[in-house]
Amino acid sequence: MLRDRYDEYAGAVRDGIRRRFHTLVDAAGFDEDRARAWVVVRSVLNAHWAHEDAVRAGRALSAEEREHVTACISVAKAVQD
């Protein structure tokens, strides 16, 4: 949910992700620290899997895959204090 409509963050990626993260945590009643840890792990894994797929195929990341990896890492960084 933090990467949905990623392009709407335009120019305020960190703030937009953090705002959405806190809204989701509050609305769902999640433990913030556990939710943050899950987001970081899942985002890093998603970035890793994209890279791993390209390596396995013996090719460089496509432009779309690079954008995906950038979004994943941006989300992981944004939710951390």
The tens place of each residue's pLDDT in the chain, 81 residues long, gives 888 888 888 889 999 999 999 999 999 999 999 999 999 999 999 999 999 999 999 999 999 999 999 999 999 999 997
Q: Are 19 and 1 in contact (CB under 8 A)?
A: no
Residue 49 counted as domain residue: yes
CA–CA gap between residue 65 and residue 46 (Å, rounded): 11
Residue 57 within a domain: yes
Q: Report the alpha-carbon distance of residue 69 to residue 52 in Å, rounded.
A: 11
Please compute Rg for the chain using Cα positions: 14
pLDDT at 81: 73
Residue 68 falls inside a structural domain: yes
Counted domains in the chain = 1
Q: 3-class DSSP state for residue 12?
A: coil
Determine the pLDDT at residue 1: 85
Domain that holds residue 68: 33-81
